Structure 1
Amino acid sequence: MRPKVFVSQPIPEPALDMLREVAEVTVFPRLDRNMSEDEWIMAAQRADYLFVMGGNIITTNVIKANPKLKGIAMVHRRLPVNNSIDLDTAKALGVPVVFQYPWEPVYDRIAEATCDLTIAMILDLAYRLIDADRYTRSGRTLQEHTMALMGPGVTGKIAGLLGLGKVALKMVPRLRALRMSVLYTKRTRLAPAQERELGVEWADQSDILRRSDFVCLEYDYNPSTHKMIGEREFALMKPTAYFINTARGRIVDEPALVRALQNRTIAGAGLDVFWHEPPGSPEMAPSEEFFKMDNVILAPHNGGATWDARTELTKATARQIVTLIGGGRPEGLVLD
């Protein structure tokens, strides 16, 4: 009898094809939400292996729901603190858990897509593309060269990068190609030769906030960056400046951001991440105040949403399950 694999949401077909070669595969069909704990319990009772996409939380009750559960594969890397799965319960019950490994080749594709999403948000805000779309679809008479849709553009503007990790580094040549000046800050400043090669200028965080037309948050999230950007930081920004966050929601004091947007302390924002999203919260729930604003672009933490990135991500996880089913030891197997 073929083993049964349950997949937490629709994923690209190449990954499903890999699984179907060795197992019966069931996919949770919804595209608009993550699974509830009750749904996970029912799924676990009927499956041998669980394929868990980001944003889902595998609790003690889910793992205990099936004493014969043979493995759980998480699509993301293992972090020092993982609230997305109860590893202690899995270990106690002898349920193998695998994380994405090696992470870097997969993450490079995700970083590429996240970089492009960030650039897209800058361009959307600079040229008011979403406003222009709404205006054109409104059914009203249209005016060519209308002043209703004026934007700052990007040529000659300053982009400030808070953090210079993999995503931000990929952004630099794109920003330069748009003829923007690029400021950056990070814990350890680059060597002068590297700065010249990249065409970037170092500045401290406060200086970046004061000078930039587009502030892009790209810090890693950790205790030292928790709520690093708040009311004081938004007050430093120019009233014509835009704030883009494709890093992590909890680096930002979200109520302070809401106030800064409502009061027009800043001109607008592009947000792919929020305070309330898994694993810190059971589900993604952007502040409802954002829904009322016409100066904010929202995306559901979907930075890696290209066919290339998502296919490679899910194929890598499928390989881990195939290895488990075959009796092998996946590279991402948790051993401690």
Structure 2
Amino acid sequence: MEYSFIGLSHGLPKVNDNMYWKVLVSAPYMQSVIDEFRPFFKENNIEIIIPAVKERLEEADLLNLIEDIDGVICGDDRFTAKVFHKAKKLKVLAKWGTGVDSIDKVEAQKLGISVFNTPNAFTDPVADSVLAYILSFSRKVPWSTVAMRQGEWRKKPCISLKECVLGVIGVGNIGTAVIKRALSFGMKILGNDVKKIRPFGVEMVSKLNLLKKSDYISINCDLNPTSFHLIGEKEFALMKPTACIINTARGPIIEEKSLISALRQKKIAGAGLDVFEDEPLSKNSPLRKMDNCLLAPHNANSSPAAWAYVHQNTLNNLLKGLKSGRKA
């Protein structure tokens, strides 16, 4: 990977190391609007380093950049123990967004490096996206549009959401928002969560029963060691052949090879995917060619208002962590 660097050092006092901080900005969403926030960095004596990032920085990329960095505004970069041990000056990771599954939080805590995120940042746009997938499958809008453009006049069989059961795996902030939207359409809701909760309008069931009974299954749990490949060959075998699965959480929660096999063999009817095991999704992925698969490039968080809030909160978190310093 090639690196391009953009700094504010020309306007910063560099009398000694305590006078300014060096910050790596690797979050693509922040990079795209960096000019808007240059006054903030200059006012707070922060020199910014901006590497070229396609989707995220891997461990090897970070090892080449991190040694003299005080803070990072990161995306889904791979902050491993090896990276942290080379980051002798690192005080804070300010994650742009919510998910921190790509960060070794245990090692960061051992070394006194603060890790901040913005909880509940994208609940509404992600929940909207889940319903968009469900409605697309139930009302066949994408397929009807393609057929009409090809000159066909053929009425495709559809179904009302009131006739359907939605299973939500992970009834946290986003899962709850999905449920509220689905209830307004009259759907019956089944829920499954590691915590013992009883949300309004939801029948909490085992994962097995949820998979067997649901017409639509929405993945809304965190990615962690217990949810890695939570849905695989055995789980797809339990689902209805008419069921659709929707993942707007994290790609590795679904075992992608098993999903491709289930779609090919018509063990399930469809999949709506915003996230993938490896991102960006390979141009050669079979998923790109499947008519029963709706795809998006990890874009369910798209919302100007949500992004603006996360930009500001991330900067606040960065400054707080820089001023607090390393705790070890």
Does TM, normalized by the shorter one, top 0.5? yes
> Could you tell me which of 21, 36, 40 is aligned with 1:18?
40
> Are the aligned partners of 2:94 and 2:315 in contact in 1 as well (CA < 8 Å)?
no
CA distance in 1, matches of 2:51, 2:40: 17
> Are the aligned partners of 1:15 and 1:318 in contact in 2 as well (CA < 8 Å)?
no
> Are the aligned partners of 1:176 and 1:182 in contact in 2 as well (CA < 8 Å)?
yes
Note the alpha carbon deviations across 1:126-181, whole angstroms, 9 max, x for none. Answer: 23333345445x5x4x345x23x544342321111123222111111200111211
CA distance in 2, matches of 1:36, 1:176: 41
> Could you tell me which of 223, 228, 235 is aligned with 2:237?
235
Note the alpha carbon deviations across 1:245-275, whole angstroms, 9 max, x for none. Answer: 2233333232211111011110000122333
Structure 2 residue 168 is matched with structure 1 residue 161: yes
CA distance in 2, matches of 1:82, 1:204: 30
Q: Which residue of 1 aligns with 2:278?
A: 276
- Look up the SS of the partner of 1:233 in the other structure: helix
After superposition, residues 20-99 of structure 1 pair within 5 angstroms as 20-22=42-44, 23-25=46-48, 27-28=50-51, 32-35=54-57, 40=62, 44=66, 48-58=69-79, 71-75=91-95, 82-83=103-104, 87=108, 91=111, 97-99=113-115
Structure 2 residue 300 is matched with structure 1 residue 300: no
Structure 1: gaps (5+ residues): 278-282
Higher RCO (C-alpha 8 Å, min separation 6): 1
Q: Cα–Cα, structure 1 residues 239 and 98, in superposed 2: closer, same or farther, change >3 Å? A: same
Cα RMSD (Å)? 3.7
Paired residues, what number?
304
> Are the aligned partners of 2:108 and 2:115 in contact in 1 as well (CA < 8 Å)?
no
- Look up the SS of the partner of 1:182 in the other structure: strand
Shift in Å, 1:292? 1.9
Structure 2 residue 219 is matched with structure 1 residue 217: yes
CA distance in 1, matches of 2:37, 2:308: 7
TM (normalized to structure 2)?
A: 0.75
Note the alpha carbon deviations across 1:269-325, whole angstroms, 9 max, x for none. Answer: 012233335xxxxx7659812112111122333333322223222322212333456
> Could you tell me which of 252, 257, 261 is aligned with 2:254?
252
Structure 2 residue 123 is matched with structure 1 residue 111: yes
Structure 2 residue 303 is matched with structure 1 residue 291: no
Q: Cα–Cα, structure 1 residues 123 and 329, in superposed 2: closer, same or farther, change >3 Å? A: same
> Are the aligned partners of 1:160 and 1:215 in contact in 2 as well (CA < 8 Å)?
yes
Q: Cα–Cα, structure 1 residues 66 and 170, in superposed 2: closer, same or farther, change >3 Å? A: closer
Q: Cα–Cα, structure 1 residues 269 and 20, in superposed 2: closer, same or farther, change >3 Å? A: farther
TM (normalized to structure 1)?
A: 0.73
What code does the residue aligned with 1:305 have? S
CA distance in 1, matches of 2:219, 2:184: 20
Q: Which residue of 2 aligns with 1:152?
A: 159
- Look up the SS of the partner of 2:127 in the other structure: helix
Structure 2 residue 189 is matched with structure 1 residue 182: yes
CA distance in 1, matches of 2:42, 2:55: 24
CA distance in 2, matches of 1:116, 1:311: 18
CA distance in 2, matches of 1:232, 1:264: 15
* Deviation larger for 19-28 or 167-176: 19-28
Q: Cα–Cα, structure 1 residues 322 and 241, in superposed 2: closer, same or farther, change >3 Å? A: same
Note the alpha carbon deviations across 1:97-125, whole angstroms, 9 max, x for none. Answer: 4321xx5xx32232333222222221222
CA distance in 2, matches of 1:51, 1:83: 14
CA distance in 2, matches of 1:77, 1:129: 31
Q: Cα–Cα, structure 1 residues 183 and 257, in superposed 2: closer, same or farther, change >3 Å? A: same
* Deviation larger for 259-268 or 313-322: 313-322
Q: Percent identity?
A: 24
Q: Which residue of 2 aligns with 1:263?
A: 265
> Are the aligned partners of 1:156 and 1:180 in contact in 2 as well (CA < 8 Å)?
yes
Structure 2: gaps (5+ residues): 1-10, 13-19
* Deviation larger for 50-59 or 110-119: 50-59
Q: Which residue of 1 aligns with 2:6?
A: none
Shift in Å, 1:27? 4.0
